[in-house]
Amino acid sequence: MVSTQRIDAYVSQALVSLAILSALGIGFIFSKSASALPLFARQTGQSCLACHAGGQFPELTPYGRLFKLTGYTQGVRTDIPLAVMAVASYAKVSSYNGSDSSGVDFPRDGTANITTASVFCCGKITDNIGVFAQYTHDLWASQDASGSWQEHSHIDQVDIRYSDRFIDESHDFIYGLSLNNNPGVTDVWNTHNSAFAPVSSYVPAGNAIFSSSALPHDVPATPILEGLQYSAGLSGYFYLNNALYAEVGTYKASTSGLSFLHDAGVGGPGALSTRLSGSFNPYLRLAANHDWNANSLMLGIHALHASVFDDATLINSNSYSTFNDIGMDGQYQYLLDPHALTLLFSFTHENQNYSGYQHTANSFNPSDTLNYLRAKITYVFRARYGASLAYTQAQGSSDLGIYGASPAANTQANLSFNHSPDSKLWVPEVFVMPVQNIRVGLQYFKWSQFLGGHTYTYYSGLGTPSSRDASDNNLAFLYVWLAY
Amino acid sequence: MKQFSLILLSSLLIAGCSNLDRSRDLANQNVRPEVTARQLCSDCHGVDGNSVSPNFPKLAGQQEEYLVKQLQSFRHGDRASEQSYQYMWGMTATLTDEQIKGLAHYYNQHVIKLSLSKETDRILLAKGKEIFENGIPAKQSPACKLCHGAVGEGMATIPRIAGQHAAYLVRQLVIFQENAGRPGTPMESVTHGLSAAEMDSVASYLQALGV
């Protein structure tokens, strides 16, 4: 039997080779024509709506799915294989309840911010190799001890592909390989992955607007499938006759030669993505698809098994916890100009089995379960006016150690009064795209449940825990999204 | 795992060479038109020119000269309806006349397949047939078959319309009527007086019309 270390070495060599070959391919890019649209649109010469339902990110059309599955290689290489994106936003939280100092606890509330900006690279490299890589700069990443805001630049989503397609009148077979840094970033339905989450795509993560622990903008308890960005993954896939999709991948810690895939700030030493045990943390995705007239329907399953060392000091020990995710998801689309309708859902069940160390140090139970549900409906008219309604729900076993009840002194935290992860979040949204490069939207984050009910928080300067109701976290969010 | 890595590296080495039989490069004139049709055009129009979505026209059995003229028109930006710009300008920007002729020939050689129509309203179809065969004299709209042929098969630069998606036909009729990007045809005057219901009926009839 091949040792774990040896498997590590093989996978690392393969991943690094793919990255190097892709990077070498970039040298051949600077030779073709360009137009006035973001990267992939410049490459194909088409409008955003060719690939995105109603021209709005992230839902893909059947054509957009094929573009991605064929490795971003359709069209003509561009002169400058870059695109940029920026988000400006204004947010207002429902209530400052539980805070003795709103200026400290909600420092960017009620102010307009240029929140985040990203650069995208590279699209088509060769006839068979293409790259989707995002590098992001957060202007309000964190605050230091003096309260000054710190900026942070980091790698974001990465999907480097090799693909080929065998097609004639009797069959259509696409297969490919992907080096990526997030389970599900490879997926073309965007139902179950965190890379293109259906709810908070335009909402900057982390501390961009608020102290993240003081005000959540997404359900806090998520399966590990949602939490492995910045790991290193290699997956193979095929898509047969526009009807059957299968993908098998494995993920490992993004260390040593693969460290370019992780964010040294968020995904640095100790981060989940650097604590994966070994090279075999498998990801599986199967989907059945059927297109008829203007309709498209997909039903699928997804699964991930991950073993995670309990903390950075225990890497390569026998102290790791295992997480088993399995779920089903689906999408229905009706696309006929000027209408674009997308409905999607994803349900994931997770078993969390803690190591003895983890059980002693953190969790109250030896194992926990979590059920995670997402659903969203989006309608866009004339690729200009749109509305959506998203719902996210988490329900699972109560665990005093994980979801807590007694915050430590001088920390900000959301801790459940009944130790429960149960949360329900509704996000209605309206938006308008005056041109395809600009989107202006208004979202309202309505919490009907948050961590089991009301939460205990402990804000700076206050001697005893304070409580907030779920609805105190409700949030109005106005954003302007620009891409070029 | 070792074998998997070797397969990956081998594939990448092979990828370094352009495979003209499976290329998706529009700018490479050495890629045969049927390869381009299958690798790229098929995504919307179907591998045999029978598109699934009515957002995109069926090209199977379409008149070769008509396809050549339309592809050149997209390339030059003369056909300038909203959908033309959104989907086709970029796809045709680098095509040579030879590539265009090859693509037109590819689709002309395929046989159009009728879509299953949900439309079973016989009155609607009868109205459509009446317009197709006799036009609407009161609105000075001539019969479709005068130009498009007795069974809608088209001729030279006049397109086949029999078997085409009804939704696509209606959209084109509206574009002609509103003079919204398809100049140089008599269709603006032909469609001038047509109501939405009349467009719907004739398009539904044509979608069900097999040749």
Taking only the tens place, the pLDDT of each residue in B13-24 is: 555 556 889 998
CB-CB: which of A18, A35, A126 is closest to B16? A126
pLDDT of residue A386: 94
Secondary structure string (H, E, C) spanning chain A: CCCHHHHHHHHHHHHHHHHHHHHHHHCCCCCCCCCCCCHHHHHHCCCHHHHEHHHCCCCECHHHHHHHHCCCCCECCCCCCEEEEEEEEEEEECCCCCCCCHHHHCCCCCCEEEEEEEEEEEEECCCCEEEEEEEEEEEEEEECCCCCEEEEEEEEEEEEEEEEEEECCCCEEEEEEEEECCCCCCCCCCCCCCCCCCCCCCCCCCCCCCCCCCCCCCCCCCCHHHCCCCCEEEEEEEEECCCEEEEEEEEECCCHHHHHHCCCCCCCCCCHHHCECCCCCEEEEEEEEEEECCEEEEEEEEEEEEEEECCHHHCCCCCEEEEEEEEEEEEEEEEECCEEEEEEEEEEEEEEECCHHHHHHCCCCCEEEEEEEEEEEEEEECCCEEEEEEEEEEEECCCHHHHCCCCCCCCCCCEECCCCCCEEEEEEEEEEEEECCEEEEEEEEEEEECCCCCEEECCCCCCCCEEECHHHHCEEEEEEEEEC
- Tell whether B83 lies on the interface with A, counting CB pairs under 8 A: yes
B27 or B54, which is more confident: B54
Averaged over A105-113, what is the pLDDT? 80
Contacts of A172 in chain B (CB under 8 A): 42, 47
A 1-20 → B contacts, CB under 8 A: 2, 7, 10-11, 13-14, 17-18
pLDDT tens digits along A155-166: 889 999 999 999
A 210-229 near B (Cβ less than 8 A): none
For the residues B140-169, what does the mean pLDDT come to?
A: 95
The answer to whether the Cβ–Cβ distance between A336 and B53 falls below 8 Å is: yes
Judged by a CB distance cut-off of 8 A, whether residue B86 touches chain A is yes
Q: How many separate domains does chain A show?
A: 1
Picking from A46, A70, A128, the nearest residue to B90 by CB comes out as A46
The verdict on A236 touching B (C-beta cutoff 8 Å) is yes
- A100 pLDDT exceeds 90? no
Whether B3 and chain A come into contact, CB under 8 Å, resolves to no
**Are residues A50 and B52, on separate chains, in Cβ contact within 8 Å?**
no
| Average of per-residue pLDDT across A48-77 | 91
A381 has a pLDDT exceeding 70: yes
Q: What are the chain A neighbours of B9 within 8 Å (beta carbons)?
A: 14, 17
Q: In B, residues 109-168, which contact A (CB 8 Å cutoff)?
A: 115, 167
Q: Which residue of A has its CA nearest to B34?
A: A168
pLDDT band at A460 (very low <50, low <70, confident <90, very high): low
Pairwise pLDDT comparison (A170 vs B5), residue with the higher score:
A170
- Residue A172 token pair: 């259509």
Yes or no, beta carbons of B52 and A47 under 8 Å apart:
no
Q: Give me the pLDDT at residue A7, please.
A: 42
Q: What residue numbers bound the domain in which A244 lies? A: 4-483
More confident residue, A111 or A290: A290
Angstroms from B181 CA to nearest CA on chain A: 16
Whether A210 has a pLDDT exceeding 60, the answer reads no
Residues from chain A contacting residue B50 (CB–CB below 8 Å): none
Q: Which residues of B touch A128 (CB under 8 A)?
A: 11, 14-15, 19
Beta bridge partners of B54: none
Q: Do B115 and A62 touch (CB under 8 A)?
A: no
pLDDT at B119: 54
Mean pLDDT, rounded, for A34-47:
68
pLDDT of A4-31, one tens digit each? 444 444 434 443 343 333 333 333 332 2
Subunit contact B89:A45, Cβ cutoff 8 A = yes
- B28: tokens are 């490479």
Tell me if A169 and B55 make a contact (CB, 8 A cut-off).
no
Contact B85 A47 (CB under 8 A): yes
Lowest mean pLDDT among A378-387, B75-84, B117-126: B117-126
Return the sign of the alpha-carbon dihedral for residues A217, A219, A225, A231: positive
Percent of chain B with pLDDT over 90: 73
pLDDT for A407: 63
Nearest to A168 among B9, B38, B44 (CB): B38
Counting every residue written for chain B, the total comes to 211
Asked if the model's pLDDT at residue B211 lies above 60, the reply is no
Q: Give how far B42 is from chain A: nearest CA, Å.
A: 9
Contact at CB, B1 and A2, closer than 8 angstroms: yes
More confident residue, A35 or B85: B85
Query: Contacts of residue B27 in chain A, CB cutoff 8 Å?
Result: 32, 76
Residues of chain B with C-beta less than 8 angstroms from the C-beta of A35: 90
Kindly report the average pLDDT of chain A as a whole number.
82
Domains of chain B (ranges plus CATH)? 23-108 (1.10.760.10), 122-207 (1.10.760.10)
Is B76 near chain A, with CB under 8 Å?
no
Cβ of B39 and A177 within 8 Å? no
Beta-carbon separation of B90 and A167 below 8 A: no
What pLDDT score does B9 carry?
Answer: 54
Determine, for residues B85 and A75 on separate chains, whether the beta-carbon distance falls below 8 Å: no
Cβ-based contacts of A67 with chain B (< 8 Å): 43
Contact A126 B38 (CB under 8 A): no
A residues 149-178 closer than 8 Å to B (CB): 162, 164-169, 172, 177
B15 contacts chain A (CB < 8 A): yes
Digit-coded pLDDT (tens) for B27-52: 889 999 999 999 999 999 999 999 99
For residue B183, CA distances in Å to A212, B140, B180 come to 57, 20, 8
The C-alpha angle A143, A120, A198, rounded to 5 degrees, equals: 75
- Reduced to 3 states, what is the DSSP secondary structure of residue B136? strand
Structure token pair of residue A338: 């000027």
Here the tokens at position A67 are 């573009």
Residue A214 has pLDDT above 50, yes or no: no
Q: Is the pLDDT confidence value at A232 over 70? A: yes
Cα distance between the two ends of chain A: 51
CATH number of the domain enclosing A435: 2.40.160
Of the two residues A277 and A288, the one the predictor is more confident about is: A288
pLDDT-above-70 percentage for chain B: 89
Q: How confident is the model at residue A38, as a pLDDT? A: 73
| pLDDT tens digits along A389-399 | 999 999 999 99
Decide if A230 contacts A269 (C-beta within 8 A).
Answer: no
Nearest partner of B160 among B89, B98, B110, B87, judged by Cα: B110
